[in-house]
A and B are shown apart, each in its own frame.
Chain A
Amino acid sequence: MAVETTTAVQNAPSLVIKPTRGWGRLALGEVWRYRELVWFLTWREVNGRYRQMALGPLWIIIRPVVEMILYSLVFGRLANLPSDGMPYPLFTFAAILPWTYFSDATTRSVSSLVRNISLISKVYFPRLVIPASSVVAGLIDLAIAFVILIGLMVFYGYAPGFAVLTLPLYLLLAACTALGVGLWNAALAVKFRDLQIVTTYGLQAWMFLTPVAYSASLVPEGLRVFYQLNPMYWVVEGFRWGLYGGGQGPQLIMLAPVGLVAFLLISGLFVFRRTERTVVDLL
């Protein structure tokens, strides 16, 4: 929405409401002014998710642990896949953590507008706040599940080096990827609710394209160039690298997927801004 805010001069318009032509501006400054709402919605999302559940927030821990046990049994024991010489549970858990965060953040931000329809249709605020808080909310789950990871590291006797300080950067890459995918789909998901189902399947396929349950060394040399275009490859491998010196550390070729994510995010912001203006009319 085209909004011009001016200081309170003699009867000068403080707000002009008119149709926006073309793509409009991003107005990220306005999102910043509404940052308190991001925190509030994040808190609501975290708090509301485990209401009316017998085990409540314990699920944050149970989910990745059950996944780790399943992968360890099926891929580690049964299929006997290599884990770069690491204990398989630790090998896969180091990847499950960032992957779960990414997949949750994406799913939640895609469905965020649809879920918050009652809020959107009643009061004005920059709509960007909604998918953004979905992405932030996942960080709290991640922080809690991290305790299990520390336990596993102690149990298997691995201590991280200074490389562990790069983890927030990898997390940022995962968050930007999730937000980019989320922004593109959130506004469209209001019109085509099918996108929520598509996202589920898309993420499932994406997970198999990312070395979460298997080692990247299984991928044929010739395909690696394409394989490494996946930003989540770098996040997952970066986590392993930062935590116990395995996986794949940062390389120059990483700039390609980072650029890809930047493009996804910026174009997503514009698409979202364009659709948010009249998204209420579709409800």
Chain B
Amino acid sequence: MSDVAIRVEGLGKRYRIGGQQQRPTPIVQAVRKTLVSPLSYFVSTLREPTTEETLWALKDVSFEVDHGEVFGLIGRNGGGKSTLLKVLSRITEPTEGHASILWPSQR
């Protein structure tokens, strides 16, 4: 009999990139940019991110882990392993789907 501990269904997590990380620019350019559009960062955070600015770290992830089961999570760098764990440990919220943590059933 299976005794599910973690059930993940269609979990997805979207990150927004680009808006935060700016390439290091020479100081002159940086000053000019500040003078020309001082609120550019502010404005960029307000509008909806375009498709190039978003990154789906997780998309449609589904699996089940039983109580006492040894479960391996393998993936490339930036593959979403940490993101998955961050969502499961409630550090950050998923964008779609859901996950359930279940107590062991009484036998």
Interface size on B, residues (CB 8 A): 28
B51-107: which have CB < 8 Å to A? 86-103, 105-106
How far apart are the CA atoms of A280 and B101 in the complex, in Å? 21
- Give the dominant DSSP class at A's interface: loop
- Give the dominant DSSP class at B's interface: mixed
How far apart are the CA atoms of A281 and B101 in the complex, in Å? 22
A126 to chain B minimum Cβ distance, whole angstroms, is: 10
B103 to chain A minimum Cβ distance, whole angstroms, is: 4
A12 within 8 A of B: yes
B93 and A14: CB pair below 8 A? no
Most buried by B among A8, A11, A191: A11
Interface membership of chain A positions 113-140, coded 1 if the CB is closer than 8 angstroms to chain B and 0 otherwise: 0000000111110000000000000000
B15: contacting residue among A13, A123, A281, CB under 8 A? A281
B90 and A10: CB pair below 8 A? no
Chain B residues within CB distance 8 Å of chain A: 3-4, 7, 15-16, 20, 42, 45, 86-103, 105-106
7 pairs of A and B residues whose beta carbons are closest in the complex: A18-B98, A124-B90, A13-B100, A15-B101, A8-B103, A277-B93, A17-B99
9 more CB-based (< 8 A) A-B contacts, given A13-B101, A17-B99, A18-B98: A1-B90, A11-B4, A13-B102, A16-B99, A18-B97, A18-B99, A20-B93, A124-B89, A280-B92
